[in-house]
Amino acid sequence: MTYLAAESRYAELPYRRLGRSGLKLPAVSLGLWHNFGDDKPFENQRAVLRRAFDLGVTHFDLANNYGPPAGSAESNFGRHLREDFRPYRDEIVISSKAGHLMWDGPYGEWGSRKYVLASLDQSLQRMGLDYVDIFYSHRPDPETPLEETMSALDYAVRSGKALYVGVSNYSASQTLEAAKILRELGTPMVINQPNYNIFDRWIERPDESGSSLLEVLGEQGIGSIAYSPLAQGVLTDRYLKGIPADSRAAVGHFLKESSLTEQKMTAVRALNEIAAARGQSLAEMSVAWVLREQASGAVTSALVGASSVAQLEANLAGVAKLDFDDTEIAAIDAASAGI
């Protein structure tokens, strides 16, 4: 059946400017890390993508290694793009990344110019695209000079294969250095993609630069998109009554059952009570917390995954109430302390 996007798709979800760039992202973006590989039904993927776009999610986040197997999420998304979203390409922000292992030998991962640009070409081929909207260095390379990796990002833009560039998993000090190099090359960094949630707040803490990542991004005019705002499903009601057989923790691929300690689950139960008092589910509150305004800066977009339409809708519902009073913030801080 031919897909026609909902006419009301821009009615509800807010959009936020990405740093000082001209690009805006939806407050919630859809990540294709876990649920768009060859191990997931194609029609289920289609239902999630269609519903996301109908609800105003215009940003789809990928990487060369997403699957499984690696590369399959991009290949599957390319098919979705051809069959459903090609007429809407200019309304959609598509991002990809290079940094993790993709092929054998010394040039199949990390940050060399050879790997980064070869990976970008492969990603474009898998998706059937001439360009991506955002291209990232997925992780800092401890051996390749940062100037080389950033010059590869600069070339990606100058060659027309990417419109904007950014980094992921870079610290405050690494982001400062990378941003300086890119600015001198004439291709400004527009985004950093860190992990961030109620349990993992590293981007709020200063590093050797003397500033936190949030402070650096604010000072440099760089936007941010937070991945794992639900701590891979821990910050939901998924595990309140045990570990479901079909859950990530049961499979043990990224989230280990051993990580669901009694201390952590006590914190989850306390946070669930705070969310209920706010009239939200724990997932909704966790997304809202990531997107809240704070003195050190604000996150531009929360990057969520969804294995079903119902899960997607539950995550998007968090933007309906982004305000937190001081009492709620203090209660969340107390419940999550030491995790």
pLDDT digits (tens, 9 = 90+) for 160-193: 999 999 999 999 999 999 999 999 999 999 999 9
* Between residues 242 and 214, the one the model is more confident about: 214
Q: Following DSSP, what letter does each residue of 53-80 receive, concatenated?
A: HHTT--EEE--TT-TTTTTHHHHHHHHH
Which CATH number goes with the domain that contains 214?
A: 3.20.20.100
Q: What is the span of the domain harbouring residue 98? A: 15-231+290-307
Q: Is residue 209 part of a domain?
A: yes
Can the peptide bond before residue 68 be classed as cis, meaning omega within 30 degrees of 0? yes
* Residue 108 included in any domain: yes
**Mean per-residue pLDDT of the chain:** 94
- Whether 50 maps to a domain, the answer reads yes
The proportion of the chain whose per-residue pLDDT surpasses 70, expressed as a percent, equals 95
Residue 269 lies in a domain: no
Q: pLDDT value at position 298? A: 83
- The pLDDT value recorded for residue 111 is 98
Residue 28 backbone dihedrals phi, psi, to 5 degrees: -125, 130
Q: Quick check: is 185 in a domain?
A: yes
| 266 sits in which H/E element | helix 262-277
Element (H, E) at 224: strand 223-227
The helix or strand, by DSSP H or E, that contains position 283, with its residue range, turns out to be helix 282-291
Q: What is the reported pLDDT for 210? A: 96
The 10s digit of each residue's pLDDT in 59-107 is 999 999 999 999 999 999 999 999 999 999 999 999 999 999 999 999 9
pLDDT at residue 261, as a whole number? 87
Categorize the per-residue pLDDT at 323 as very low, low, confident or very high, splitting at 50, 70 and 90: very high
Give the pLDDT of residue 250. 41
Buried b (16+ CB within 10 A) or exposed e, 251-285: eeeebeeeebeeebeebbeebbebbeebebbbbbb
Quote the CA–CA distance of 217 and 296 in Å, as a whole number.
Answer: 9
DSSP 86-98: GGGGGG-EEEEEE
- Domain total of the chain: 1
pLDDT in tens, 133-162: 999 999 999 999 999 999 999 999 999 999
Instruction: Tell me if 274 is assigned to some domain.
Output: no
Q: Is the pLDDT of residue 206 over 50?
A: yes
Of 150, 123, 266, 114, residue with least CA distance to 199: 266
For position 293, what pLDDT does the model report?
85
pLDDT at 226 over 50: yes
- In this predicted structure, the answer to whether residue 13 has a pLDDT above a threshold of 80 is yes
pTM summary value: 0.94
Backbone angles phi, psi at 98, to 5 degrees: -140, 135
pLDDT above 90: percentage of residues in the chain:
90
For the segment 246-301, what is each residue's pLDDT rounded down to a tens digit?
A: 545 444 556 566 677 899 999 999 999 999 999 999 999 999 999 998 877 789 99
What pLDDT does 251 receive? Answer: 47
Within its chain, how far is the Cα of 280 from the centroid? 22
Rounded Cα–Cα distance for residues 193 and 99 (Å): 13
Mean pLDDT of 226-247: 80
268 belongs to a structural domain: no
pLDDT of residue 147: 98
Asked if the structure places residue 278 within a domain, the reply is no
Is the pLDDT assigned to residue 19 strictly greater than 90? Answer: yes
